[in-house]
Amino acid sequence: MVADDRRIGVLYLTSAPFLGGAVYGLRSIVRRLDRTRFRPVLALPEEAREVAEFFRDEDIALAPIRSPRLARGSPAALADLLRTAGELARVCRAHRIRIFHSTSPRAAVLGPLLRARTGVKFVWQIAMLGQPWWSHYLACFPDRAACVSRAVCREYGARANMRVIHNGPWTEGLTEAQCAERRQALRAELGIAEDALVVGGMANLQYWKGLHVLLDGFARAVRAMPDIVLVHLGGAVPGYESYAREIDSQIAALDLGTRIRRLGFRADGYRYFPLFDLFVHVPVTEGRHGCTEAFGHAVAEAMSYRLPVISSRLGGPAEIVEDGVTGELIEPGNARELGEKIIKLLRDPARRRCMGAAGSARYQKHFTIEREVREYEQLYLELVSAGAAQVAAPQKQPASGRGDFRAHWERLDADARFPEKMRLAEVEQRPFVALLEKMLTESPGMPRVLEVGAGSAAASRLLAQRIAGNVVALDLLPQAMRVARRLLPRNLNGKLTLVAADVFHAPFAGESFDLVFSQGLIEHFPNPRPIVEAHARLVKPGGWLVINVPQTLNPYTLYKHWLMRRGTWPPGWETEYSPQALVREVTSLGFDAVALDGHGSFLRMVASRGLRALLPHSAQVMLIRLADGADRLLGSRLRAWSCLNVIGCFRKGPMSPGAARNQESST
């Protein structure tokens, strides 16, 4: 039957020895996978009978494998991995598997072995934080590494093969009336008064889940509100037996008595969310590498049930909870702060309702299982399609002419070393910014400056520090503005404004800026005329338009075209300009060409990028400055013809072309 089945076979592997968030998440995915296009198969160790039973009725083929050491260390680790790879290869051939998808840490090694033996595409769903360096290194081997949060993506190096796909916990989708009915029934079942305020928690007994912090914070809240109740769901975990005993001792020492109900592990734990008035999940870090919560299924689930959430400001929960909007974030391990926030929220029912409504809306927008499954299905299709399977396949330019840079900015946002890299970028920007500053010396008063397609706004930041006026950095993508906001110094608040908007519909009046500039933007448009007109419309009469674009006569242009032919040029497509071509493009709009210059030598780029991994930051800065100093000796005209980028400085006449046309028609 499998031989005649044209659906895409997807093999899922879990090595989880017990039921937890990762297993629940995997079941949610396979439950909703489009069975008309995909055929799921689950591989799991033979002894994982509880997990196998959990998937028994999910219309998924189960493939037990004889690998008892899959989830733990072994003196014969290499032989164990090879044997497991052989078992999985047998499953792949039997079920005609084309995608291997796993959340297992060992899958980072198994995946490449399996790919070499069977040709499957390997997707590693990384759902861990606080892992050793070798785990981070292995993240370069999957065809796609799907990170469950931006925090995971940052820790693992924000590599080009990575994509952030937030988990999508399944929920019942109850109405408010149904939640109220469930609440009443559960309170009767547990002997909790209808008017009692209940704090909920749901986490297995592992140290990094932070149950000890929850108990301490709740005990502090009880002193101010003696009638509140804590209901906790979660059971003991192998390897954490001593922690479970410590929790028992802590509950006794805090004398919580009837203030706490411990329900243990419940496979139907989702049924208990309507019982709560407030949900708390406060993970901490554990161990040398700082293991902690990579996502936090229960946090997103609680929001779907319209509950305000208190969580820790770290890992996945810090991305799920919008601080002050859908809940509150505390510093990890701060039980005193937790107690204060519990009291504050329990005493303010109106604020709890507002946060619950906002949380439900945020869940529907970002964290539904339908959204997660849709993203994984798209990822699978990309991997098995002929175009995506071949790295050399050319990337099609969107019809609009704009490349899609969202994934690029998401990777940068997730890169923990990005601020350090941007300091070098700012050093490279200084000659260009000095030229912009020179353009403004004749502008009286407080000049207004606009950067179009600002990206990380490096040039805007530097310029705002050097002039007395105001600078606006505009970019179409909110992802880019989020990166720029990370880098914005406090002393520039009020001087530099970040705006996420389309320049074609910019929220500014026409002819309202003394200087409008862009760099690395118009070359991404097959027809640059409309985007240049959008720049020109915003320049005041007598104001400046400065455009910085790739220069035609440069060795780097040849390299760029070679990458485009292979389909590996990151923007997908772009062109370049000679100085005359840039002048023709802008002067046709009624601007005068005042100056041409160039920016960045090819040798500087090769030296600085090639030696980046070898030289300390100070040496790289010195190298860039020496190269820029050598460029200064060439003179502006020679720089315009020999540097990586050509810069055109244009001045708008006293009457704009649009105003002139209006005057002619009225005459």
Reported as a single tens digit per residue, the pLDDT across 587-615 is 999 899 999 998 776 556 655 555 555 66
The pairing of beta strand 229-233 with beta strand 198-202: parallel
- Kindly state the percentage of the chain with pLDDT values over 70: 83
- What is the rounded distance in angstroms from the CA atom of residue 199 to the CA atom of residue 213? 14
| 8 A C-beta contact, residue 636 and residue 596 | yes
pLDDT digits (tens, 9 = 90+) for 44-94: 776 667 777 777 666 788 887 875 444 444 456 677 778 888 889 999 999
Cα 166 to Cα 30, 185, 309, 489, 607, distances in angstroms: 16, 33, 18, 30, 38
Q: Check whether 336 has a pLDDT greater than 90.
A: yes
Which pLDDT value is given to residue 44? 79
List of domains in the chain: 2-164 (3.40.50.2000), 176-366 (3.40.50.2000), 406-602+635-666 (3.40.50.150)
| 8 A C-beta contact, residue 312 and residue 203 | no
pLDDT digits (tens, 9 = 90+) for 453-479: 999 899 999 999 989 889 999 998 888
Q: Which residues are CB-neighbours of 4 under 8 A, at least 6 positions away?
A: none
Token representation of residue 39 = 């055929």
Determine which of 190-194, 299-303, 598-602, 648-652 has the lowest per-residue pLDDT on average.
598-602
Task: Provide the 10 A C-beta neighbour count for residue 441.
Answer: 8
Which pLDDT value is given to residue 285? 94
Most confident of 173-182, 347-356, 591-600: 347-356
Q: Check whether 343 has a pLDDT greater than 60.
A: yes
Better-scored residue on pLDDT, 478 or 282: 282
Which pLDDT value is given to residue 57? 64
Determine the distance from the C-alpha atom of residue 347 to the mean position of all C-alpha atoms in its chain, rounded to a whole number. 35
- What is the rounded distance in angstroms from the CA atom of residue 439 to the CA atom of residue 516? 11
User: Any idea what the Cα angle at residue 425 is, between residues 421 and 429, rounded to 5°?
Assistant: 170
Give the mean model confidence (pLDDT) for residues 283-298.
92
Q: Check whether 217 has a pLDDT greater than 70.
A: yes
Q: Check whether 146 has a pLDDT greater than 50.
A: yes
Strands of 496-500's sheet in order across: 496-500, 470-475, 448-452, 513-519, 539-550, 645-652, 591-599
Cα 440 to Cα 429, 493, 599, 636, distances in angstroms: 17, 21, 19, 18
Mean pLDDT score of the chain:
84
- What is the rounded distance in angstroms from the CA atom of residue 161 to the CA atom of residue 192? 50
What burial class does residue 56 get, using C-beta atoms within 10 Å of its C-beta: 0-12 exposed, 13-18 middle, 19+ buried?
exposed
Confidence of residue 42 (pLDDT cuts 50, 70, 90): confident
Confidence of residue 486 (pLDDT cuts 50, 70, 90): confident
Token representation of residue 400 = 């609009």
pLDDT digits (tens, 9 = 90+) for 395-420: 343 333 444 577 677 767 766 666 66
Determine which of 107-111, 321-325, 539-543 has the lowest per-residue pLDDT on average.
107-111
Give the mean model confidence (pLDDT) for residues 262-272.
91
Confidence of residue 18 (pLDDT cuts 50, 70, 90): low
- What is the rounded distance in angstroms from the CA atom of residue 309 to the CA atom of residue 306? 9
Beta strands in 386-495 (DSSP E): 448-452, 470-475
Give the DSSP letter string of 267-319: TTGGGGGGG-SEEEE----BTTTTBB-SS-HHHHHHHHTT--EEEESSTTHHH
* The model scores a pTM over 0.75: no
Cα 27 to Cα 19, 20, 169, 221, 387, distances in angstroms: 11, 11, 10, 37, 30
CA gyration radius for the chain? Answer: 29
- What is the rounded distance in angstroms from the CA atom of residue 365 to the CA atom of residue 378? 18
What burial class does residue 12 get, using C-beta atoms within 10 Å of its C-beta: 0-12 exposed, 13-18 middle, 19+ buried?
buried
Which pLDDT value is given to residue 71? 42
| 8 A C-beta contact, residue 657 and residue 590 | yes
H or E element that contains 410: helix 406-414
